[in-house]
Each structure stands twice: as structure tokens, then as C-alpha cells.
Amino acid sequence: MRVDAVSIYPVKATGPVARPVAEVELGGLRDDRRWAVVDLRGARLNATTHDRLLAVTATPDEDGGLTLTSAGAAPVVVPVPTGGRHVPVDVSRLPTMVDAGDEAAAWLSGHVDQQVRLVWQDDPARRPISERHGGLGGEPLSLADTGPLLLTTTSSLAQLDSWISQDHGPESMAMGRFRPNVVVGGCDIPFGEDQWRDIRIGEVNYRFAEHCDRCVVTTIDPETLSHGKEPIRTLARHRKWAGKTWFGIRIVPLSPGTIAVGDEVTVG
């Protein structure tokens, strides 16, 4: 098995940025999910309620700042707001984040047609992985929902496509709907990752944290922003337990390092 793709999502709920090589930190991939868009009360916007965020690409620079781009809008450069104003946010296990300034706020407010702010997570150590989601001893976490990295496999997606085709006619799901950090190819068994507990990718070891339950954001086509019933409808038929539908696993790096497309993947 080998890594087919690596992606980061620097701002929560925005589009992916593909990386041939990424730096692995204990709280997640470098620059992955370190920023968020919040309303004026500090509540985080998500792609389910604000799907236009999926059309925004946030490209990080060497210093961790961003360039925000979207079709039909002039790009805006956002430096890291080191030393900026801390504002209260409604994010689990993270009471405050750093405001990124008025220019970014104005750009994003125009994009979503609502007054919002861009905020930055200054230190992932301030937000430990919840023990309820597989955290051990205060491990750091980015703004990812519950685990540092999300891993999926091409064999599981092929099985899902087959189920959809059998039940409802041909309709291929883009892997991007599931917003993974790591896509693994060459797995012989669909959903074999359900059983993985110790994973080595390239030079870094990871441990399994939990299976990933899927929400309705997967029913939004990331390219067209059209909404539908798949893949939740079919996952609910074939991959439902504990009242939720499941696709992919969350994993925790045991040390810093790098991950690259083409890296060998071994599991135990």
C-alpha cells in the first residue's frame, strides 16, 4: 500500500490544498486546520450551512500566513497575526483564538454575505484531543473535529461507488467529499482500515484514534456546490452503527516527520 494523495485544509470548511510532501506535527499536518471563520458571536461557520466556503482556497506561505482566493474575487494575503487580539470562540476545548484583522474579515464577509471574522489557532497544545475521541494524556490537536489526521482508502471508495451503482445507478463519489488528509491506495480489502491499529506511513508511526462518522457536508459536491443524498443515503444502508454512518479513520502521529505521495504504508 502507498499514499495516493496528501491534502491540507488551512481554514476549516474551505477547499483542499494538495501537497506532494507535508510536514507532520503532533497536532496534525503543518498548516492544516489552523484557521477558522466565525460569526460575530464567535460561532464557527461550517460548510453545511455556508457551502460557499468550499469555493475558497487558502494557500499557506512559508511563515504560516495565507493567501485567500476564490473565483471572481481579488486575492487577499493574510499574515500570521502573532501577538494579535484574542477573541472568544465557540470551539470545543478552545475558549479563544487570535483575530486575523479587518482586511481578511471584509474579504470573507463579502464572500459569505454575512459579517464574519477570520481567527487563528496560535498553539494546538491549548486544544487537547478529547479522551472521548481517543485522546491520550493531553495530546495536541489542530481545529480538526476530533483527530489530527483523517485517512481514507481508494478501495473503500470503490466499494461505496459499487453500492451506489447497484442501488441507484452509476454515480461516482469524489474522494474530496470526505475531506481526508491522507488517501491510501493498494489496499486489497474495502474498509480494511477499520481494523488498522498501528500504522506506519513513510518515516512516521501513527496510532488509530477512532472511526470517522460522516455528516451531511459529504452530500455537497465540492466542485459544483450542488446538494444531494449521496453518500449518506448509501452509507446509512451499508455502514451504519451507533446511529451514525462511517467512512475513514482518524489517526494520531507518534512523532514529528514528513509524509509524501508514494510513501509506503504498513499496518498492524
Q: 212 and 255: one domain? A: yes
Q: 239 lies in a domain?
A: yes
What letter represents residue 202's amino acid?
G
pTM score: 0.96
Q: 101 lies in a domain?
A: yes
Q: 59 and 89: one domain? A: yes
Q: 150 and 263: one domain? A: yes
Per-position pLDDT tens, the chain of length 268:
999 999 999 999 999 999 999 999 999 999 999 999 999 999 999 999 999 999 999 999 999 999 999 999 999 999 999 999 999 999 999 999 999 999 999 999 999 999 999 999 999 999 999 999 999 989 999 999 999 999 999 999 999 999 999 988 887 899 999 999 999 999 999 999 999 999 999 999 999 999 999 999 999 999 999 999 999 999 999 999 999 999 999 999 999 999 999 999 999 9
Q: 68 lies in a domain?
A: yes
Q: Which domain holds residue 82?
A: 33-123
Which of 118, 133, 110 is CA-nearest to residue 212? Answer: 133
User: String of b and e for 60-95 (b: at least 16 CB within 10 Å)?
Assistant: beeeebbebbbeeeeebebebbeebeeeebebeebe
Q: 91 and 56: one domain? A: yes
Q: 152 and 74: one domain? A: no
Which of 114, 88, 100, 110 is CA-nearest to residue 34? Answer: 100
What confidence score (pLDDT) does residue 184 get? 98
What confidence score (pLDDT) does residue 169 get? 80
Q: 75 lies in a domain?
A: yes
Q: 220 lies in a domain?
A: yes
Please report how many Cα atoms fall inside a 13 Å half-sphere around the Cα of residue 84, on the Cβ side: 19
Q: Provide the domain count of the chain.
A: 2
Q: 115 and 164: one domain? A: no
What confidence score (pLDDT) does residue 214 get? 98
Q: 234 lies in a domain?
A: yes
What confidence score (pLDDT) does residue 5 get? 98
Last residue of a domain, one of 63, 88, 123: 123
What confidence score (pLDDT) does residue 205 get? 98
For the purposes of burial, counting CB atoms within 10 Å of the CB of 266, is it exposed (0-12), middle (13-18) or buried (19 or more)? exposed
What confidence score (pLDDT) does residue 167 get? 85
Q: 80 and 165: one domain? A: no
Q: 152 and 247: one domain? A: yes
What confidence score (pLDDT) does residue 215 get? 96
